[in-house]
Homo-oligomer: A and B are copies of this chain.
Amino acid sequence: MRIKTRVTDMLGIEKPIIQAAMGWIARAPLSSAVSNAGGMGIIETSSGELDAIRGEIIKMRDLTDKPFGVNVAQAFIRDPGIIQFVIDQGVKFVTTSAGDPMKYTATLKAAGLTVFHVVPNLAGALRAVAAGVDGLIVEGGEGGGFKNPKDVASMVLIPLVCERVDIPVVAAGGIIDGRSMAAAFALGAEGVLMGTRILSSAESPVHENWKTAIVNAEATDTVFLNRKGPGPALRALRTERTTRLEEEGSPNIFGEFARTQDVYFGGDLEAGIALTGQVAGRITAVKPVAQVFADTMSEFEATLTRMTAVRA
């Protein structure tokens, strides 16, 4: 079975699955695995390590001949020269996030790129449409990562946006498999984005301790932090540290990320914050990306068959 939507057409991908641009994690080894499996691999910039990222973008050419993209996490990039670098490298797809969609959309589109903007609510979606983006990534509050403090769940947010915009929508937050992808499509999405599911894949570079924690987590084992600011809110794995932050708050949420290398790659989950979505509660095994995507596609098909069977 193949799925054809405006998202697969615009991005030139076989499967309507985009990988989340996870800071420090979404680099060439993992993102090329996603592209090679027929999805859209994305190189991150939210780490702010732009020198390293330039190298990762170049590496992608050796690791895949399939389409891939780059995320421009506007709040985290100190050197806007990265925009021209992405254009010069011949990257065809950019997602913009964490900033005003008016800032880079015209430049990127003038250079022939396809631009999707990441939004957490309807107001953001309408502003991105006004900026002229080609599509939206619409993130429900159940997803991991940096969040708008006024979170809205995918079941409400995805149809709300889809009913109000004409450009294609990619659903993010709560998606790990064929039945959740089918739900996103029912709500009006034409593609899905997976974060925690790919973060916990075999090809993911994160430490086994984090993957094991995701496999063992219940759906109630995430926390939503820093709703009152300052700085962004976020959803993360529940640990002793994040439970304390949930209780007491943090005067400087970015300070909690000082030892991210130790958390992500050293496996010390108490050394900082492990950004993780509620879907951790549904993930029961570490699987290769290609297996995740193949299972997703076949379960999507089975879900359509099951749904149509309810007609009496």
Q: Could you tell me how many residues of chain A have their Cβ less than 8 Å away from some Cβ of chain B?
A: 53
Q: A17 to chain B: closest CB distance in Å?
A: 13
**A155: which B residues are within 8 A, CB to CB?**
140, 142, 153-155, 173-175, 180, 183
Task: List the one stretch of A97-105, A106-114, A258-266, A275-283 in contact with chain B.
Answer: A275-283
Q: Which stretch in A18-26, A37-45, A80-88, A185-193 binds the other chain? A: A185-193
Distance A264 CA – B308 CA, assembled complex (angstroms): 40
Output the nearest chain B residue to A220 by Cβ-Cβ distance.
B150
One complex includes copies of this chain to the number of 2
Instruction: Check A1 for interface membership: any CB of B closer than 8 A.
Output: yes
Residues of chain B lying within 8 A (CB to CB) of residue A122: 218-219, 281
Contact call B282/A159, Cβ cutoff below 8 A: yes
Would you list 24 pairs from A and B whose C-beta atoms are within 8 A, ordered by A residue? A1-B311, A2-B311, A3-B312, A4-B311, A122-B281, A152-B278, A152-B281, A153-B155, A153-B173, A155-B180, A156-B174, A156-B277, A156-B278, A159-B183, A159-B282, A160-B282, A179-B187, A179-B188, A180-B186, A180-B187, A183-B183, A186-B186, A304-B304, A304-B311
A interface residues, Cβ below 8 angstroms from B: 1-5, 121-123, 140-142, 150, 152-157, 159-160, 163, 173-175, 177, 179-180, 182-188, 190, 218-220, 228, 247, 277-279, 281-282, 301, 303-304, 307-308, 310-312
